Amino acid sequence: MSKAIIGIVGSSGTGKSTSLRNLPTNTTHIIDLERKGMPFPKKFPHTSSCASVKEFNDALSVALVDESCEVIVIESFTKYVEILHTLSDRSFKGFDIWNYYNKEIRTMLDKVKNDHAVVIFTAIDEIVELAQPSGNAFNVRRIKVQGKQHAGCIEKELLMVLFTEVKRDKEGNTRYVFQTNSDGITSAKTPMGMFDKMYIDNDVNEVIEKAKKYYA
């Protein structure tokens, strides 16, 4: 059985990167496409800064063959598809641009399905309006991805999709949380019965530990 693949999705500043803060340092591989640093002082020795698709693929291959690796973080899926689209646009013409782009995304999604490491994607969200057969329209909040083939379809490749939110109480105190299940707008999801609350603290390490107990 493949290990869990988890999406952490939200707009900038809502706690996506911060949620990684409690991951174990020596058994976590960070594939850093954003290259802006982490919003906390903790250091991860297995961090690969990647500026190209080749560097990303090489770093992912290294992490996947490292038997001591327990968690692989792709920071971020959004930057990966941006870099991939730029490469596709520069290397091909016409339909071949999207053929290559879609094939590489499919290959990557298949590649990360492994039996020894949890894989975490961080990603920016988007809000789109979708039409119903009745003619009415409704808004959906989902993982942002360029191109039609994968739009609205990345979530089905993931076991869990956690949306980041910032909550403020009456006193003005701020709490960063994960939304664990859909409210009819987001594509958030977690296995049935894993969480009894809609919102939990944004600590992805706690989510991983919860999943271990759930599947034990």
Write the CATH number for 91: 3.40.50
- pTM as predicted: 0.91
Number of domains making up the chain? 1
Tens-level pLDDT at each residue, the chain (216 residues): 468 999 999 999 999 999 999 999 999 999 999 999 888 988 899 999 999 999 999 999 999 999 999 999 999 899 999 999 999 999 999 999 999 999 999 999 999 998 889 999 999 999 887 767 777 777 888 899 888 888 888 999 999 999 999 998 888 889 999 999 999 889 999 999 999 999 999 999 999 999 999 998
| Nearest residue to 58 (alpha-carbon basis) of 45, 68, 49, 67 | 49
Q: Assess contact for 6 and 120: CB atoms under 8 A.
A: yes
How far from the centroid of its chain's Cα atoms is residue 49's Cα? 17
What span, in angstroms and rounded, lies between the C-alpha atoms of 120 and 204? Answer: 9
Domain span at residue 87 reads: 5-215
